[in-house]
A and B are shown apart, each in its own frame.
Chain A
Amino acid sequence: MLATGAITLGVVVALYSVRHNRAPAVAPSSTASHALAPDFTLPQPDGESLHLSAYRGKVVLLDFWATWCYPCREEIPHLVDLQQKYGDRGLQVLGISMDDSPDPVGPFYQQFHMNYPVVMGTAKTGESYGGILGLPITFLIGRDGRIYAKHIGATNASVFEKEIKDLLQAP
């Protein structure tokens, strides 16, 4: 009876783990339903422009965030780690700050040791991505410039990592 209970508990735990840790499947080989990520040219806090199209050929993790967003502050260190780990293999993390002003972004960038470019977002940018009406919202963009995943709210880093690895392996 004890063994039966242990087996049952093990099955329940396994099912729970599978259900809650399964990352959304990214299918780089299937492009029909994956829209091209809207291109943008936006200013970095120092004023220099950044073009999304310059990163075609890389896997891009595009993160909409703000300095005052607590879930973003929890997520960003993990994005820093992912950039560090996969940057040499073709990953580029890009941050789009939805702060009203670039003033707080520079100090935040230093405080959080951010190692990827950050630009200042606009309402137009948000609308082009379907409406950024909450933070953080993160997109995974393949080497072909198409969107393969969208995450609303803070996301477990392991989910991002699996998707990144899948996309990096895609042709």
Chain B
Amino acid sequence: MIQVGSHVLFAQAHIPGSEYIGPASSDAGVQRLRNRVESLPRTKFILLYCGCCPWGHCPNVKPADDALHAMGFTNVKVLYISDNFGTNWVDKGYPVAKGE
């Protein structure tokens, strides 16, 4: 499970067990994502999420999803967060972890 948005937001709250990779809207972030998953079997289940802003405006999840599919991963899902991580996850009382 990989968060592909903002580190400052990740440090405040993230889904327990998820890793931070970096904003996939940047070339550097996408490259870090590629490096992280390179050694994984292409059938590995990978869940991506962001939650920076409303789903239709998120600049991070699509580049991340596209990058993984281009690498041949066949079991990639993206967590749908309609408004933002605070409203749709934290405020709902779902599990949250803080810090790095």
Contact residues of A with B, CB < 8 Å?
A: 66, 68-72, 98-100, 121-123, 126-127, 131-136, 152-153
Contact residues of B with A, CB < 8 Å?
A: 6-9, 11-13, 22-23, 25-26, 51-54, 57, 59-60, 83-87, 90, 98
B35 CB to nearest A CB, Å: 17
B-side binding surface: helix, strand, loop or mixed? loop
B50 CB to nearest A CB, Å: 10
Given A98-B6, A121-B8, A123-B11, decide whether A133 and B57 contact each other with a Cβ distance below 8 A: no
Given A100-B6, A100-B23, decide whether A133 and B83 contact each other with a Cβ distance below 8 A: no
Of the residues B11, B26, B86, B87, contact of A68 by C-beta under 8 Å: B26
Question: Which of A99, A121, A134, A152 gathers most chain B CB within 10 Å?
Answer: A134
A71 with B53: CB separation less than 8 A: yes
What residues on B are CB-neighbors of A69 within 8 Å?
A: 52-53, 57, 59
Q: Bound state CA distance, A99 and B54, in angstroms?
A: 17
What residues on A are CB-neighbors of B9 within 8 Å?
A: 98, 126, 132-135
Of the residues B22, B59, B60, B84, contact of A133 by C-beta under 8 Å: B84
- Output the nearest chain A residue to B100 by Cβ-Cβ distance: A123
B25 with A68: CB separation less than 8 A: yes
A71 with B54: CB separation less than 8 A: yes
B6 with A131: CB separation less than 8 A: no
What residues on A are CB-neighbors of B6 within 8 Å?
A: 66, 98-100, 135
A94 CB to nearest B CB, Å: 17
Of the residues A123, A131, A134, A152, contact of B52 by C-beta under 8 Å: A134
Q: Bound state CA distance, A131 and B9, in angstroms?
A: 8
Given A68-B26, A100-B23, A153-B84, decide whether A133 and B53 contact each other with a Cβ distance below 8 A: no
Q: Bound state CA distance, A66 and B23, in angstroms?
A: 11
Q: Bound state CA distance, A132 and B7, in angstroms?
A: 12
